[in-house]
């Protein structure tokens, strides 16, 4: 619908949109396609995966060797859910989900300030009596005087301060459902399964289905139009670890986890929910198994941290804490997925920001390095040689 | 429906060819845009289509179909499109208790090791055939995708038996009424034995093979990959057995553009 513009004024024409876009705080429509996105809690990660996690899909994070950064991403995801008032479902097998929730990073203080300030303004406006009738602008008499709350919770993507934890009143009042595997499934039942269906995963899927049904996130069930809808955030921490009963470190013959992911896709495609799963794929022996899991998820990223590896010493990586690889991006409801500019990303963890950036090699300065051994660029290009190879620029060259 | 691909394949978009078994394989990239191509091509051509969707929901195909100009909901209501929802069957199979039993679920094989994909074949047969048990009019069977069945634990032998039965039903010769299009994942960097076995079995059945892969020089934003089209000429042994064509492609919002290698608009 074309809006006719006056000589410099704004008109009252409103574009009639044919599609009913759901207005849910904390989400935004994606730039290509009419899909709803939720933030992962890390704005730079949102940017490289195309705006955020598409509602109805799964973002798989392949964990780094110690799982620290993957756990951090899960915390950001949950913290973002609390800030935007999305209900949470968190499952974990090793540490209790309550412990994870108690340790969430606090939002950076000006966001809290904005929210508090707005709350005060809104409440003070309500106290003012508004019986004075308008004489000149009588057309506006019948419009609502309350503005919709545009506090921090409808903002998309927040920054968090890792040195402070989120206040317990925020985490305790947030609607959440916790799934702690040793509580839900007694240890004896975990051990006995005939290799086809892991009861731990079945129990988890059933609780996800229950939450979707009770919280009215199911899109196939018609809801009354004026009901405010929200998005469920599902976080499955460290799925597929040995605590979940994965035997032999995952081989292609193991079908419990692939079947769980396939059934989860069936649930998510018809629900208003977004899911973040972290899987320690470095424990799996068979790459083909990992590849099958990736194909059954929509977006996949892999974290590789430098802690404890030889790359920590590499001066090219000295500003960063690890590498991030995008393996797959969501193609749900569209012909193409978001195509990033490049696929070389590194992340660094600061107190107030988890930054994901494009990896740049440092410039080669002629006067700094005389010996090729010290040149970080050359070190990156040459592969690491084995112990018995004669070629190579080892310092112990005889 | 991508017109450049139709020209290369020699498929007439007004009268899509019969008796073809098209195999799509992808390696390290996603070849599902070709599934959407064939779906829209055959629906626009007026064929009856049976879509066995194991990887995505109906909403996905519908959303993409609307961008390509093919209203799938209307086709489904009219009866031109028969949709078999694999996600729903698999979910039901996963969460039902043994007391409830599997009932009529076509994917019974996922729980019951002794079963095969026979119930799935029976379901497909009821969807495509008339009461006498033969095909009524030109029909296409579109399977998206077979590697999901392998990931869910069905053996490559069972899947290949199922496809063999489907082929005998739909397109045993080049003059039959039906056609089949199926997708198999075949990643080159991992050794997935079941998938490789399945791919080799399917390659024997196929009359046209479209292999989708990324560029050998790495990731590029302007050229997303290349498609190698192989035509198997089983009729005439005197002519050469296979004919190959190689194209590069770029996926856009509503279309996929195909071009000869090196002639991308970003390069020229």
Q: Per residue in B176-194, pLDDT tens?
A: 888 999 999 988 888 888 9
Averaged pLDDT, B224-237: 81
Angle at B130 between CA B128 and CA B136, to 5 degrees: 75
- Does the beta carbon of B38 lie under 8 angstroms from any beta carbon of chain A? no
Q: What is the pLDDT of residues B204-223, one digit of tens each?
A: 888 899 999 988 888 888 88
What is the per-residue pLDDT for A128?
45
Greater confidence (B141 vs B136) lies with B141
Q: From the list A32, A255, A270, which residue is nearest B253 (CB)?
A: A32
Q: Which of B91, B114, B266 to substitute to test the interface with A, most A CBs within 10 Å?
A: B91
> CA-to-CA distance for B115 and B194, rounded, in angstroms?
18
Q: Is A77 exposed, middle or buried (0-12, 13-18, 19+ CB in 10 A)?
A: buried
Tell me which residues of chain A have a pLDDT lower than 70. Answer: 1-22, 33, 109-132, 143-153, 190-196, 248-250, 362-398
Alpha carbons B59 and B73: distance in angstroms, whole number: 9
The arithmetic mean of pLDDT across residues B111-118, rounded, is 81
A80 Cα to chain B: minimum distance (Å): 28
CA-based nearest distance B29→chain A, Å:
9
Residue A224 pLDDT: 76
Tell me how far apart the terminal alpha carbons of chain A are, to the nearest angstrom. Answer: 79
> Is B79 or A119 the better-scoring residue by pLDDT?
B79
Chain B partners within 8 Å of A259 (Cβ) = 90, 94, 110, 152-153
Read off the pLDDT of residues A3-35 as tens digits, 9 standing for 90 and up. Answer: 444 444 555 665 554 445 667 888 888 877 678
Residue B105 touches partner A, C-beta closer than 8 Å: no
Q: What is the mean pLDDT of residues B49-70?
A: 92
Smallest CA–CA distance, residue A207 to chain B, in Å, is: 11
Chain B environment of A197 (Cβ under 8 Å): 94, 111
Tokens of B91: 């979910």
Which residue in A211, A224, A193, A239 sits closest to A74, CA to CA? A239
Q: Closest Cα of chain A to B173: distance in Å?
A: 33
Cβ pairs A/B, distance under 8 A: 109
What secondary structure does DSSP assign to A212-272, as a single string?
HHHTT-BSSS---TTS----EEEEETTTTSGGGT-GGG--TT--HHHHHHHHHHHHHTTBS
Residues on chain A touching B224 (C-beta within 8 angstroms): 336, 339
In a mutational test of the A interface, the residue from B28, B30, B151 whose CB has the highest number of chain A CBs within 10 Å is B151
Q: Which residues of A touch B88 (CB under 8 A)?
A: 266
> Residue B238: exposed, middle, or buried by beta-carbon count in 10 A (0-12, 13-18, 19+)?
exposed
* ipTM surpasses 0.95: no
Which residues on adjacent β-strands are paired with residue B230?
A: B209, B244
What are the residues whose beta carbons fall under 8 Å from the beta carbon of A354, sequence distance 6 or more? A42, A44, A45, A72, A73, A76, A347, A348
- Of A321, A325, A318, nearest to A380 (Cα)? A318
Do the Cβ atoms of A326 and A48 come closer than 8 Å?
yes
Contact residues, chain A to chain B, C-beta under 8 Å: 32-33, 196-197, 202, 205-206, 209, 252, 255, 258-260, 262-263, 265-267, 269-270, 287-288, 290-292, 295-296, 328, 331-337, 339, 341-343
Q: Does B42 have pLDDT greater than 70?
A: yes
Find the CB nearest A269 among B32, B57, B192: B57
A271 forms beta bridges with A218
Of B28, B99, B152, B194, whose CA–CA distance to A264 is shortest?
A: B152
Of A32, A196, A333, the CB nearest to B60: A333
| Interface test mutation site (partner A, options B94, B253, B258, max chain A beta carbons within 10 A) | B94
Residues of B in contact with A334 (CB under 8 A): 63-64, 67, 253
B25, B60, B87, B97: best to mutate for the A interface, most A CBs within 10 A:
B87
Distance CA B185, CA B27 (A): 6
Q: What is the pLDDT of residue A249?
A: 67
CA distance A172 to chain B (A): 31
Q: Return the pLDDT at A389.
A: 44
Contact B114/A at CB under 8 A: no
Determine, for residues A333 and B91 on separate chains, whether the beta-carbon distance falls below 8 Å: no
B30 vs A265, A296, A331: nearest CB: A331
| Apex A179 CA angle, A175 and A185, nearest 5 | 150
User: Any chain A CB within 8 A of the CB of B30?
Assistant: yes
CB contact under 8 A, A292 and B192: yes
pLDDT, tens digit, for every residue of A196-253? 678 889 899 999 999 999 888 888 888 777 777 889 999 999 998 888 877 766 677 7
Q: Residues of chain A with pLDDT > 70: what percent?
A: 73
């Amino acid at each position: 619908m074309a809006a006719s513009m006056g000589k410099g004024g704004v008109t009252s024409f409103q574009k009639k949109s044919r599609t009913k876009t759901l207005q849910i705080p904390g989400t935004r429509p994606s730039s290509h396609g009419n899909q709803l996105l939720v933030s992962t809690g890390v704005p730079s990660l949102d940017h490289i995966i195309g705006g955020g996690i598409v509602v109805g899909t799964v973002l798989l994070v392949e964990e780094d060797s110690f799982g620290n950064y993957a756990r951090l991403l899960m915390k950001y995801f949950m913290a973002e859910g609390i800030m935007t008032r999305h209900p949470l479902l968190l499952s974990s097998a090793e540490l209790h989900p309550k412990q994870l929730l108690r340790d969430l990073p606090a939002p950076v203080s000006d966001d809290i300030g904005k929210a508090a300030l707005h709350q005060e303004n809104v409440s003070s406006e309500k106290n003012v009596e508004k019986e004075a009738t308008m004489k000149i602008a009588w057309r506006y008499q019948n419009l609502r005087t309350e503005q919709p709350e545009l506090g921090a919770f409808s903002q998309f993507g927040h920054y968090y301060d890792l040195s402070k934890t989120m206040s317990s009143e925020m985490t305790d009042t947030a609607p959440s459902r916790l799934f702690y595997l040793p509580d839900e499934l007694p240890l004896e039942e975990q051990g006995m399964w005939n290799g086809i269906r892991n009861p731990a995963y079945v129990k988890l899927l059933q609780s996800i289905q229950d939450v979707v049904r009770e919280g009215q996130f199911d899109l196939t069930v018609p809801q009354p139009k004026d009901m405010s809808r929200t998005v469920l955030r599902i976080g499955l921490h460290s799925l597929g670890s040995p605590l979940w009963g994965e035997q032999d470190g995952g081989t292609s013959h193991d079908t419990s986890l692939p079947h769980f992911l396939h059934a989860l896709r069936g649930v998510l495609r018809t629900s208003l929910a977004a899911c973040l799963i972290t899987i320690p794929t470095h424990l799996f022996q068979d790459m083909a198994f990992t590849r099958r899991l990736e194909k059954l998820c929509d977006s996949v990223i892999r974290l590789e941290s430098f802690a404890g590896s030889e790359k920590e010493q590499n001066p090219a990586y000295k500003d960063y804490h690890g590498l991030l690889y995008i393996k797959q991006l969501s193609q749900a409801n569209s012909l193409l997925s978001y195509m990033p500019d490049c696929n070389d990303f590194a992340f660094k963890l600061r107190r107030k920001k988890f930054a994901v950036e494009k990896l740049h090699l440092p410039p080669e300065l002629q006067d700094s390095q005389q010996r090729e051994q010290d040149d970080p660029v050359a070190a990156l290009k040459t592969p690491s040689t084995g112990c018995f190879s004669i070629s190579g620029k080892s310092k112990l060259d005889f | 429906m991508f017109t450049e691909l139709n020209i290369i394949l020699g498929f007439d978009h007004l009268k899509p060819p019969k008796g073809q078994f098209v195999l799509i394989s992808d390696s390290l990239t996603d070849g599902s845009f070709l599934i959407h191509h064939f779906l829209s091509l055959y629906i626009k051509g007026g064929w009856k289509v049976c879509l066995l969707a194991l990887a995505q929901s109906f909403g996905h195909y519908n959303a993409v179909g609307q961008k390509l100009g093919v209203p799938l909901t209307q086709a489904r209501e009219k009866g031109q499109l028969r949709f078999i929802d694999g996600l729903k069957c698999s979910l039901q199979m996963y969460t039902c208790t043994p007391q409830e039993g599997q009932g009529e679920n076509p994917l019974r094989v996922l729980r019951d090791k002794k079963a095969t994909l026979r119930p799935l074949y029976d379901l497909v047969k009821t969807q495509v055939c008339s009461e006498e048990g033969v095909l009524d009019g030109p029909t296409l069977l579109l399977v998206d995708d077979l590697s999901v069945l392998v990931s869910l634990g069905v053996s490559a032998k069972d899947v290949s038996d199922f496809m063999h039965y489907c082929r005998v039903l739909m397109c045993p010769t080049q003059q039959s009424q039906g056609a089949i299009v199926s997708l198999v994942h075949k990643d080159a960097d991992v050794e997935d034995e079941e998938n490789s076995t399945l791919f080799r079995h399917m390659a024997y059945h196929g009359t046209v093979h479209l292999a989708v892969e990324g560029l050998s020089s790495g990731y590029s934003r302007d050229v997303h990959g290349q498609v190698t089209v192989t035509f198997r000429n089983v009729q005439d042994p005197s002519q050469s057995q296979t004919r190959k064509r190689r194209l590069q492609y770029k996926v856009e919002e509503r279309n996929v553009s195909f071009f000869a290698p090196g002639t991308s608009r970003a390069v020229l």
